[in-house]
Structure 1
Amino acid sequence: MHPKTQLSVNVNKVALVRNTRHLGIPSVLRAADACLQAGAHGITVHPRPDERHVRGHDVSDLAALLAGQWPGREYNIEGNPTQNLMAFIRAVRPQQCTFVPDSEDQFTSDHGWDLAQPEVRARVQPLVAEARALGVRVSLFVDPDPALMPHARDVGADRVELYTEPYAAAWVTGDAAARQTQLKVYAAAARAALDAGLGVNAGHDLNRDNLTPFLRAVPGVAEVSIGHALIADALELGYAATVQAYLRCIDEAFSA
């Protein structure tokens, strides 16, 4: 049996609100510290080139916080390795990096790497090798397609992160049949990843409503990275209560 899923909190949206003023509030560091105090297993950031969310100093400040006060927790830095991501990996050497194929002006992540294409594999493979040589675990953001998993293994990745927006969208519609169809898709993709020797992460639009059913149906999910919904919930509930609510969602998935 696989161990219980870990929760990594993406603090990008805290930085987005902070960036609308020049007062340094809300504090990204205090948000991360509060989430870790409440039991989150790690912190995720996605430093885009335009710095509309987390900025360069946030990446290093969070690295110092985690190393100094939370040495057992994970730091996950995600982004496009052909843009600005590798500089952060070299400087910070987080426990994990997640390669995401975003364009520079992309609103939010909306697709995974098309690893079926040889040119994509050729572009990604040396970057995966460099990150791993630095001691950083590499996860590739992918669509839930079982056929992609051997390719992810072959380019040297340690894990894949399943892009979960299609599942979340099916949940919003209230269509039970669509939800079950999506869960079967993700379960098949996760099994293929596990069969290929890869770890499985998941993220994008997971929330308190849809997280437990997802983890019950999809085998071997090592980590979920949740930002938008969790920070939105924290506006109403506070960081501590929100993180604890998400941890309960994970506990419920493993309790039956």
Structure 2
Amino acid sequence: MTLLSVNLNKIAVLRNSRGGDEPSIIQAAQTCIEAGCGGITVHPRPDQRHVLPDDVRALAAMLRGRVEYNIEGNPFAPARSNYPGLISLAREVKPTQVTLVPDGDGQITSDHGFDLQNDIERLRPLVDELREIGCRVSLFVDAGAEGFEHAAAIGVQRIEIYTGPYAHAFAEGDAREVLASCAETARRAQQAGLAVNAGHDLSQANLGTFRAAIPGLAEVSIGHALIGEALYEGLATTVRNYLQILR
């Protein structure tokens, strides 16, 4: 079955808006695990507007040996203030997977993937370092991306397809073209020896259609929609709803 990794960034956003420790990102992770999710995702950013480096460390201690731990981020963003940099955080906590994302401070959320033709040599030493740490390495890519053989050659093991355009097209009523592009991207990545993850704006409404179109989908990372839906149905119930869709 496709693994569900729950992104907890929005829990941290809510906590940070008030200060203090509530709602607890650790308790949220515990609830998701007890409901059956297979992984927890966080995306620490240098501006620390949601998940903080100390959250990353606390989750690592709590999750180890229980479910997969996926840390997302821009490997080229320099350290600042209390943010030590993505690679340094990975060296500290040794997550299961690191998903490299080319996002910047000016982005509200991730909105594009790497250009594998032009970025691959910059990524090579970072992938080497993450593999030496013991992390699985995934690259965030757009549907229609090319150059998967180059990614595989430098040690990348997975891609994560950016599904924002798919979710938008689905909401507009016709996702056939973009869904076909996602499926073809997944097929070419798999032919190059890479496993395929997906994430961004996936929801209970659109996940089933996407999952059916992508044979061998390894993992979905879902946060914004899942946490929003949980406001109405509860976190554990919502996680179980997603797992049922993936089954």
Superposed pair shares fold, TM > 0.5: yes
SS in 2 for 1:210: helix
**Superposed displacement of residue 148, structure 1:** 2.9
Does residue 50 in structure 1 map to residue 53 in structure 2? no
Does residue 31 in structure 1 map to residue 28 in structure 2? yes
Q: Where does 1:82-93 land on structure 2 (aligned, <5 Å)?
A: 82-83=76-77, 84-93=85-94
Give the whole-Å Cα distance in 2 for the aligned partners of 1:79 and 1:30. Answer: 23
**Superposed displacement of residue 156, structure 1:** 1.7
Residue 123 of structure 1 corresponds to: 122
Residue 208 of structure 1 corresponds to: 204
The number of aligned residues is 240
Q: Where does 1:176-215 land on structure 2 (aligned, <5 Å)?
A: 179-215=175-211
Does residue 232 in structure 1 map to residue 228 in structure 2? yes
Give the whole-Å Cα distance in 2 for the aligned partners of 1:131 and 1:82. Answer: 13
SS in 1 for 2:117: coil
- Matched residue type, 2:102: P
Residue 81 of structure 1 corresponds to: 75
1:141 and 1:161 in contact (8 A); partners too: yes
Task: State the identity as a percent.
Answer: 53
1:28 and 1:58 in contact (8 A); partners too: yes
Q: Which moved more, 1:17-26 or 1:133-142?
A: 17-26
Residue 254 of structure 1 corresponds to: none
Report Cα offsets for 1:117-140 as digits up to 9, x if no partner.
1xx111111000100011100000
**Superposed displacement of residue 147, structure 1:** 2.1
SS in 1 for 2:204: coil
Residue 99 of structure 2 corresponds to: 98
Residue 82 of structure 2 corresponds to: none
1:128 and 1:155 in contact (8 A); partners too: yes
1:146 and 1:188 in contact (8 A); partners too: no
2:15 to 15, 18, 24: 18
Give the whole-Å Cα distance in 1 for the aligned partners of 2:74 and 2:115. Answer: 14
2:113 and 2:140 in contact (8 A); partners too: yes
Give the whole-Å Cα distance in 1 for the aligned partners of 2:224 and 2:150. Answer: 30
SS in 1 for 2:161: strand
**Superposed displacement of residue 115, structure 1:** 1.0
Q: CA 1:20 to 1:146, structure 2 compared with 1: closer, same or farther past 3 Å?
A: closer
Q: TM-score, normalized by length of structure 1?
A: 0.92
Give the whole-Å Cα distance in 1 for the aligned partners of 2:147 and 2:104. Answer: 21
Give the whole-Å Cα distance in 2 for the aligned partners of 1:148 and 1:227. Answer: 28
SS in 1 for 2:185: helix
Residue 8 of structure 1 corresponds to: 5
SS in 1 for 2:106: coil
**Superposed displacement of residue 110, structure 1:** 0.3
1:202 and 1:225 in contact (8 A); partners too: yes
Aligned Cα RMSD in Å? Answer: 1.0
Structure 1, unaligned stretches of length 5 or more? Answer: 252-256
**Superposed displacement of residue 146, structure 1:** 5.0
Give the whole-Å Cα distance in 2 for the aligned partners of 1:105 and 1:165. Answer: 18
